[in-house]
Structure 1
Amino acid sequence: MFGSFREALISIGAKILLVILVLSFAVWGIGDQLNFGAGGGNTVATVGETEIPRREYDAEVRRQTSRLRRALGDALTDEQLRAMGVNQRVLESMVQSAVFVEGARDLGLFVAEDTIAREIKTDARFQGASGLFNRDRFNRIMYDNGYSEGAFIEIFRADMMHTQLLSGIASGQTAPKTLVNAIHAYRMERRIAEVVSIANKKLATVAAPTEGEIAKYHKDNAARFTAPEFRDFTLVRLQIEDVLDEVAVAEEKIRAAYDERLNEFSQPERRKIKQILVATEELARKVHGELGSGGDFDKVAKETAKADPASLDLGELSRAQVPLPELADAAFGLGKGAFSQPVKTVLGWHILKVTDVSPAKQSKFEDVRAQLKNEIAKELAVDALYNLSNKFEDSMGGGATLVEAARGLSFKPKRIKGASRAGSDDNGKAIAGLDAEVLRTLFETDENTDSALVDAGERGYFMLHVDKVTKPALRPLARVRAAVAEALLRERSAEAAGKKAETLLGEIKSGRSLAEVAKAHGVKVRTSKPFTRTGEGLQSRLPGDLVAALFSARRGDAAASQAGEEQVIAVLKDIRRANPLADKEGVARIAEQLNQGIGGDLTAQLAAALRNRLGVSVNQVAIEPASRP
C-alpha cells in the first residue's frame, strides 16, 4: 500500500523526471551553457527568467538518493550513486521542467488554483475507503517523499502546464499515406511454407560418451554444472492481516461512509428495450399502424421495416445509458409491453417497445455494512501497521536484533535456508513465499547484515537478516554425472543431425522433393498458415532465423534450422502481399504509431527551440557540493 503511495508521486509529478529525463539526455544534453566561474552561489541553473535554487536542487538530490536506497538497499555507496549520475539526472529534469513551464507561460497558459485543487481531490490515490479525498493519505504521500505542501502542489501545476503545452503538438499529427502503406506492406506481408521437422535421433546416431569424455566435458563446461550462490536468512513480515483483528471500526464511521457513497449503492430503474429504426416518417407511421392492429413486433420489423433482427434488441438499459435523450424520454414513459409513437432523431425514425422493467433498487445499510466495515478496517490497519513499522525500526535502532524486535511486537520471524537468486533450493524446487522483492533485497544485503525495512505495498513491510552466504561452487561429477552425460550426448547428436540436415537441404536444392525427404525419415510434410516476419500466424513456432530466411527467399527456395531436439527444413510455397484496403484496422494501428512518433519528434524540437530562445545557464560550481549524495 505504501509502495503504491510512493508510486503515486512518481506517476503524478516524477514522470516529468522520467519521460522528459530520457528524452532530454538523448536529444538535448545538459551542456547548453556551463558556468565554471568561482563562487558557487545559491542558483544551480537559470532558464530564461526562472532560477533553480540550490536548496531545491539539494532537496531533490536527497529525495532521489533516498528512493534509490529504499529500492536498492542502504548499502548503496556514494561512489555508486555518483556513477549512476543521480545529480546530473536531477539537474536535467529540473531544467527541462522549467523550460516547459516558461514556454507555457510565454504562450499565456496557466493553471488556476481551483483546477489544481480539483485535480488533487479527484485523484483516486488520495482517496480513502469512502471514495472521497483523504487528507491524511495525501499528507503521508507528501511527507514520505520529503515535500512541503507548496512544493508538492507545484509538481501538479508544472505537470498540468506541460500537458497544456504539449497536448496540441502531440495530437493531430498525420503520417504520409505512402509511408503508412509502405510500412504496412512490409509488416503484414505473409508467407506460406511446407515444413518438415525431423528429430535429431532419426537423422544421426552417436555413440555413448566414455567416462573420460564425461569428465572432460564436466570440467570444460564448469559454469553449466556450478551451483548458484545460496543464502540462509531470517525474514520478518509486517502484514495487514497481523493487525486487522485489532482494529476497531466505530459504527458511526460505517454509517458515514454509507451516507457518503449512497449513489454507489443505488441501482436505477432499468428497462429491456427493442427498437425499429426506419428512414422516413411515412414508413414509421405504417409500422406503428401495424403494431397498433396487433402485429408482432419482430415480424413487423422484419417484413415491413426490413430490419435486421440482430439490430432490434437494445438490451437492458438505465435512463442514463439510452444514447439519445428523446429515446430515453420515450422508453421510460412506457409501461411493460407497450410500444411508442414514432420518435424522430438524427438517426431516423424510431419505434420503441419495453419488454421488461427492473425497478430501481437501493441497497440497505445492513446489506453493505460488512463490506464497508472491512474496507474501513483495512484503511485503519494501514495506519496501524505504519505506526508499528516505526516502532519496529525504533526497536532496531535501540540495539535489538531482528528477531528480538519482531517478537517484541508479536511478529513471527521465519528462518529460510539455502535460497538461490531464483528463489529455489539446491534441488531446484521453488521455496514458498519468496517474491521478487524479497529475493532482490536478500541478494543486495551483505552477510551478517540487516536489510532496510522494505515497504512492500499491499503486502505490508518486511526486513531480513542474511545469516550465511554459500558462494557458487562446481557440483561434484559424482552428483551430476547423469546430467553431464545427457548434455554431452545431446550436443553431439545436434551437431551430427545438423550436418545431415545440411546434406538434405543440398539435395532439395538439387531437385529432390521435400515429400521424399519426409517419407524417408518417417515424418509428414505440414503446410503452414500464412505468417508474418514476426511469426504471427504460425500454428507451431519456427526458429527465428528460419522465418527470416524464408522472407529472403523466392518461391521454391529451401532453408533449414535447428529447433530444440529437431532439425527443421522448409520450402517457401507462396507469398501473400499485404492489402491495405482489406486491413483498415492494421493500417490505422500503424498510422497511430507513426503519428505518435511524429508528435514525439515535434515535442523534442519544441524543447530544443525553447531552450535556445529562453537560454539555459548551469552553474557547475554550485552543483559540485550537492553532487555528493
Structure 2
Amino acid sequence: MLNALRKGAGGWIAQLFIALLVVSFAVWGVSGFLTGFQGDTVATVGKTDVSAQQFFREYDLAKRRLGQQIGQAVTDEQARLFGIPGQVLGRLVTEATLNDEADTLGLGVSGETLATQIKDDPTFQGPTGSFDRNRFIQVINNAGMTEDQFVAELQKSYVRQQLASAVVGAMEPPDAYLRAFHDYLNEERSIAYLVLTPDQVGAVADPTETELTTFFNENKSDWRTPELRSVSVVRMTPEDMANTGDVSDEEAQKVYDSQLATRFTEPERRQVEQIVFKDMADATEAASALADGKTFDALKADRGLTDADVDLGLITRDKISDPDVAEAAFSLTEGSVSGIVEGRFGPVIVRVTAIEPEVVTSFEDAKAEIKQELAAARAAQEITDQFDVIEDARAGGATLQEIASNYGLKLVTYPGIDATGNNVDGVAIADLPGGNELVSAVFESDVGLENNAIPIEGGYVWYDVTAVSADRDRELSEVREKVITAFKTAKVDEKLTELAEQNRDRLARGDAIDDVATEIGVEPATADAIKRSTQASGALTAQAIQEAFNGPKGYAGVAPGADDAKIVLVVTDVTVPPYFSGAPEMAETEQRLSGDLTNDLLQQYIAQLQDRLGVSVNQATLQQLIGATDPGV
C-alpha cells in the first residue's frame, strides 16, 4: 500500500528502491546484538533512526500483502520463513541512509509540490476523477498512518528521489555495450553432432572386493543415512469416519428428490437458428418462399447471412431470452422450420437442426454418491464433536494407541522418516497423513514431547515422535548392491566419456563427422540457427547448446546428453546478424541495461554512505517486534 502512496517517488528511481530491499545487508549485516538504543528504535543510520512504530507498520503491511497472495493470514513464524523481516528492515535502512544524507545536504521539497502530487494521485480520487478527501483519509488510515505521517513520508520520498537522481541520473549504456549485448543474444550457430549411449561401451564386470571397498570409501558420503525419526500417527478425516451404511435409502431419496431438477437432470438442448426480419411484410414474403419450396439455407444465402449470423448454438430453453421464440424452437421437430414468430426484436423464423433430449440420472445411479456425501457431512460434524474429546484425553495422558482403540481410529507407525518425507530406503512415503506439514512438525518435535494436532483434509492428525536416529555413515554391508550398481554406472560413464573425448579430438583435428559416425556405428545429426537462448529439444540438451558457444567455428566439444548419453559436437557455422544503433527492437534491451547500470551505481553509492555514516541495529527491539527469540532475522 505504501508503495502506491509514495507514487510521488515513482518512475525509474522508485523501481530502483524496490530492487534495493536488502542491499544494506551486503554491507553491514544484522547479526550482532547491539546496545545503547532507545526502546522505540529499531535501527540507526548516522543521525537518522528507524522507529519501532515505522518498522512494525511496514512489517504488518508486508505480512498482509503476503497473506493476500497465499490466501491466509501470515504468522510471525511464517513471515520469518519468507524473509519478510529482513526485507522490510533492509528497505527502511536504505531509505534512512538516503534520508540522513539528504538532511546533511539540506535537500527539501515545497509544500505546494506535495499538495499537487497528492491531489493528482489516482489513489485518492473519487468517482468524479477529482481529489476525494474522505478517500484520502480512508486509504492512509488503512495503511496505518495519520495524515501528518503520510505527508512527512511523501516528503522524504521526494527528497530521496532528488538525491538518487543527482547521483545516478538516467544512465545510457554505451553503444559498444549494446552492440556486445546484441551480438551475444542474437549470434546463431550451426552444429553437427553425435549421440553416444552407454550401449556403445558394452557391459562392465562386477568390481573386485578391493575395487568395491575403495570406491565405497571414496564416495562414503553418498551412502550416508540422514537423521531418521520414528513416528506414530492417528488420523481422523471425513474419509476415515464416513460410513455410508448409516445412511438409509429414504434419506438419500429425499436429497435426490430435492435436487432432481437442478442436479440430476440435464435439460433438453437444441441447435437453433433464427432469421430476424425488418418487418412483417418482409417476414411474410420469406414465409411464402419457404412454403413454395425454398430452403432455409437458400433464404439465408439470399439475405447474405452466414451461419454465425443465424446460429444461436446448442442451447437449453431457458437460454433463449424471447419466450415466444423459445416456445417455437422447442415445439419443432428436428430439421423443421417454424412459421412467423412475433419476437421482441421483430418477426422471426426459426429452424431446429439437432435435438439432444433431456437426460435424467436415476435414483439408483445417484444413490451411492448421495450417500457418500451425507456420510461425509455427518463425519465432518462428528470430527468437530470428537476433536475436543480427543484433545481432553491427550491432555489427561492418554496415548495414541489408547485413543485409536477408544475412538475407532487407526494407529499407523512409520519406523523411519527423513526431513524430506522419505523412508529409510530414500523412497518418498506415499499417502503420508499431513504430508510435508507433518514432516516439518515431526522434525521440530522430539521424543516425549506433546504435539498439537495438525489440521488436514477436513480433519486432524495426531502424532508422537517415538525414536530419533542420528545421521551416520552406512557400512558397506548395508548398501552393498547399491554400491556395486553405482560402481558399474561410474565405470560406464568413465569409458563413455573417454570415447566421447577421443572422437571430439578427431573432429577438432578436422576429421569428417560422417566418417567418425560410421566408424563408431551412430547416425550423425545437425542443428541450425541455434542461439544461446534456444530451448533443449529432442536429443539436443541445454548443456550441448551452451557447449556449442564455447569456441569459434570448427570448435569441437562434449556435453552430457539425455539418459546418461554423451553428445559430441562440432561447430560448422557462426552467424551474427548486423547491429544497428537505435534500432526499435533494441529499445527494450537498452532500457533494461540502463536500469541495470543505474541500479549498480546506486547500490555502490548507498554502500559507501552506510560505511561512512555507520549502521546499527537494535536486535532486542527487533526480535520483540517480529515475535522471534533467535538473535537473527
TM-score w.r.t. length of structure 2: 0.54
Inter-partner Cα distance in structure 1 for 2:188 and 2:303 = 44
Q: Any idea what SS the aligned residue of 2:479 has?
A: helix
Whether the aligned pair in 1 keeps the contact of 2:76 and 2:626 (CA below 8 Å) is no
Q: Which residue of 1 aligns with 2:451?
A: 451
Inter-partner Cα distance in structure 2 for 1:265 and 1:524 = 60
1:244 aligns with 2:242: yes
From the superposition, tell whether residues 343 and 491 of structure 1 become closer, same or farther in structure 2 (CA, over 3 Å). farther
Q: Which residue of 1 aligns with 2:328?
A: 333
Whether the aligned pair in 2 keeps the contact of 1:37 and 1:621 (CA below 8 Å) is no
1:107 aligns with 2:139: no
Q: Any idea what SS the aligned residue of 1:473 has?
A: coil
From the superposition, tell whether residues 414 and 36 of structure 1 become closer, same or farther in structure 2 (CA, over 3 Å). same
Shift of 1:482: 4.3
From the superposition, tell whether residues 338 and 485 of structure 1 become closer, same or farther in structure 2 (CA, over 3 Å). same
Q: Which residue of 1 aligns with 2:567?
A: 568
Match for residue 389 of structure 1 among 373, 387, 412: 387
Whether the aligned pair in 2 keeps the contact of 1:276 and 1:305 (CA below 8 Å) is no
1:497 aligns with 2:496: yes
Deviations 1:171-221 (A, max 9, x none): xxxxxxxxxxxx999999997754421135636998875433322221121
Match for residue 199 of structure 1 among 197, 200, 206: 197
Q: Which residue of 2 aligns with 1:544?
A: 542
Match for residue 406 of structure 1 among 387, 391, 404: 404
Inter-partner Cα distance in structure 2 for 1:108 and 1:624 = 41
Q: Which residue of 2 aligns with 1:463?
A: 462
Q: Which residue of 1 aligns with 2:173?
A: none
From the superposition, tell whether residues 222 and 419 of structure 1 become closer, same or farther in structure 2 (CA, over 3 Å). same
Shift of 1:621: 9.2
Inter-partner Cα distance in structure 2 for 1:423 and 1:109 = 54
Whether the aligned pair in 1 keeps the contact of 2:232 and 2:413 (CA below 8 Å) is yes
Inter-partner Cα distance in structure 2 for 1:340 and 1:497 = 81
Deviations 1:224-276 (A, max 9, x none): 12233333221111121343349889999997998799756675553212478
Q: Which residue of 1 aligns with 2:154?
A: none
Deviations 1:130-176 (A, max 9, x none): xxxxxxxxxxxxxxxxxxxxxxxx9xx889xxxxxxxxxxxxxxxxx
Q: Give the alignment of 1:341-380 within 5 angstroms.
A: 353-357=351-355, 374-375=372-373, 377-380=375-378
Deviation larger for 392-401 or 507-516:
507-516
From the superposition, tell whether residues 311 and 533 of structure 1 become closer, same or farther in structure 2 (CA, over 3 Å). farther
Match for residue 212 of structure 2 among 211, 214, 223: 214
Shift of 1:521: 0.8
- Aligned-residue CA RMSD in angstroms? 6.6
Shift of 1:396: 1.4
Whether the aligned pair in 2 keeps the contact of 1:249 and 1:376 (CA below 8 Å) is no
Inter-partner Cα distance in structure 2 for 1:404 and 1:572 = 71
From the superposition, tell whether residues 204 and 289 of structure 1 become closer, same or farther in structure 2 (CA, over 3 Å). same
Name the amino acid aligned to 1:519. T
1:440 aligns with 2:440: yes
Inter-partner Cα distance in structure 1 for 2:482 and 2:361 = 64
Name the amino acid aligned to 1:440. S
Q: Which residue of 2 aligns with 1:179?
A: none
Q: Give the alignment of 1:477-626 within 5 angstroms.
A: 477-527=476-526, 536=535, 538=537, 540-550=538-548, 558-563=556-561, 564-571=563-570, 625-626=624-625
Structure 2 residue runs of 5 or longer lacking an equivalent are 1-15, 25-35, 42-50, 66-71, 93-117, 129-138, 145-180, 578-584, 600-616, 629-633
Q: Any idea what SS the aligned residue of 1:467 has?
A: strand
Whether the aligned pair in 2 keeps the contact of 1:273 and 1:331 (CA below 8 Å) is no
Inter-partner Cα distance in structure 2 for 1:309 and 1:220 = 75
Inter-partner Cα distance in structure 1 for 2:520 and 2:417 = 46
Q: Give the alignment of 1:121-270 within 5 angstroms.
A: 194-200=192-198, 202=200, 209-245=207-243, 270=269
Name the amino acid aligned to 2:560. Q
From the superposition, tell whether residues 417 and 205 of structure 1 become closer, same or farther in structure 2 (CA, over 3 Å). closer
Shift of 1:354: 1.1
Shift of 1:453: 0.8
Shift of 1:419: 3.7
Inter-partner Cα distance in structure 2 for 1:559 and 1:624 = 54
Shift of 1:555: 7.8
Inter-partner Cα distance in structure 1 for 2:63 and 2:551 = 60
Inter-partner Cα distance in structure 1 for 2:454 and 2:530 = 47
From the superposition, tell whether residues 260 and 474 of structure 1 become closer, same or farther in structure 2 (CA, over 3 Å). same
Inter-partner Cα distance in structure 2 for 1:513 and 1:55 = 67
Inter-partner Cα distance in structure 1 for 2:219 and 2:388 = 50
Q: Any idea what SS the aligned residue of 1:400 has?
A: coil
Name the amino acid aligned to 1:235. V
From the superposition, tell whether residues 333 and 553 of structure 1 become closer, same or farther in structure 2 (CA, over 3 Å). farther
Name the amino acid aligned to 1:219. N
Whether the aligned pair in 2 keeps the contact of 1:196 and 1:526 (CA below 8 Å) is yes
Whether the aligned pair in 2 keeps the contact of 1:276 and 1:352 (CA below 8 Å) is yes
Whether the aligned pair in 2 keeps the contact of 1:87 and 1:626 (CA below 8 Å) is no
Whether the aligned pair in 2 keeps the contact of 1:270 and 1:319 (CA below 8 Å) is yes
From the superposition, tell whether residues 208 and 360 of structure 1 become closer, same or farther in structure 2 (CA, over 3 Å). closer
Q: Any idea what SS the aligned residue of 1:333 has?
A: helix
Deviations 1:88-146 (A, max 9, x none): 7899999xxxxxx9988743489xxxxxxxxxxxxxxxxxxxxxxxxxxxxxxxxxxxx
Shift of 1:385: 0.9
Name the amino acid aligned to 2:218. D
From the superposition, tell whether residues 260 and 522 of structure 1 become closer, same or farther in structure 2 (CA, over 3 Å). closer
Inter-partner Cα distance in structure 2 for 1:485 and 1:287 = 87
From the superposition, tell whether residues 262 and 542 of structure 1 become closer, same or farther in structure 2 (CA, over 3 Å). same
Shift of 1:518: 1.5
Whether the aligned pair in 2 keeps the contact of 1:331 and 1:340 (CA below 8 Å) is no
Name the amino acid aligned to 2:541. P
Whether the aligned pair in 2 keeps the contact of 1:268 and 1:318 (CA below 8 Å) is yes
Deviations 1:537-571 (A, max 9, x none): 72x24332212234678887654312253221235
Name the amino acid aligned to 2:269. R
Name the amino acid aligned to 2:53. A
From the superposition, tell whether residues 107 and 526 of structure 1 become closer, same or farther in structure 2 (CA, over 3 Å). same
Inter-partner Cα distance in structure 2 for 1:406 and 1:84 = 37
Q: Larger C-alpha radius of gyration, 1 or 2?
A: 2
Percent identity over the alignment is 24
Q: Any idea what SS the aligned residue of 2:446 has?
A: coil
1:45 aligns with 2:53: yes
Name the amino acid aligned to 1:107. Q
Deviations 1:441-493 (A, max 9, x none): 333332343432111134x2112112122233333224434433443343344
Inter-partner Cα distance in structure 2 for 1:436 and 1:284 = 69
From the superposition, tell whether residues 401 and 482 of structure 1 become closer, same or farther in structure 2 (CA, over 3 Å). closer
